Amino acid sequence: MSESTSIASTLAQKKWFGFDLDDTLHEFRKASAQASQSVFEVIHSHTDVNIESLKSSYSEILQSATADAFTDGRTSTDYRRDRFTRLLQAHGINELGQEDHYIAHLLGVYKSSLGSSLTLKAGALSFLQALKQRGKKIVVVTEGPTDAQEWTIRELGLEPYVDVLVTTNEAGCSKVDGLFGVMLDKFEIHSEDLIYFGDNAIRDIQASRKEGILAVLYDETQESQLVDFHDLRINSWDALKGILNQE
């Protein structure tokens, strides 16, 4: 059996297709980096703090602020307000950090820039459309605030194709702490009926495989590997759509 035939047969048999959202279906890192840059530029225009210094501080704040994988139920606005307030405090800009209207302005700048920077991965929409045409069900399993992920799906035009959205924010646990099992139980999905795609080898692939889910790493930097089902990898949604069309 050839590589394309074996994976095509598998795709045909699966009832559910699962996806991570950020950096799997869309260019989240690029969009969030641009949105953050817009905020740094606003702060820099009102202070003498240089942009590189703000960027460095914000990176450290992000690492600590997202350690719980957004499992505490807060909204995206809550998370962002906390991060921007801490950023201003880190640079001694306390007078601005204490002004609600200034933080609100930064929040608006970030969201506006994020929305204008959102970009789907090449071929992602076409692949989802092809799946729906075949009667497949689509679930997005993602770490992040529910409101932000719902907004992102709407902004990207993916809402008509997503049957179920599962977030760490809503479930109260991260991917590595059982989110995939929660998803299977809540929506009565059998693990053998689902194939899942994600860009993180640990949080997406390893975590979903623990629940008996067939997982495929999305990695644009490597060659696709569709022979060994213990180490499946895809680097292009267009390529996967081509295989889907071979069923």
Instruction: For residue 214, give the H/E element and its range.
Output: strand 214-218
- Based on the structure, what is the number of domains in the chain? 2
Report the predicted TM-score, pTM, of the whole model to 2 decimal places. Answer: 0.93
Give the relative orientation of helices 3-13 and 237-244 as an angle to the nearest 10 degrees: 80
Neighbours of 243 (CB within 10 A): 20
Q: 20: domain range? A: 3-27+119-244
Q: Indicate if 57 and 87 belong to the same structural domain.
A: yes
3-state secondary structure of 38: helix
Neighbours of 157 (CB within 10 A): 12
Q: Indicate if 220 and 132 belong to the same structural domain.
A: yes
With beta carbons less than 8 A apart as the criterion, state whether 141 and 175 touch: yes
Could you read off the pLDDT of 24-66 as tens digits, one per residue? 999 999 999 999 999 999 999 999 899 999 999 999 999 887 8
Domain containing residue 163: CATH number:
3.40.50.1000
Average pLDDT over residues 141-164: 97
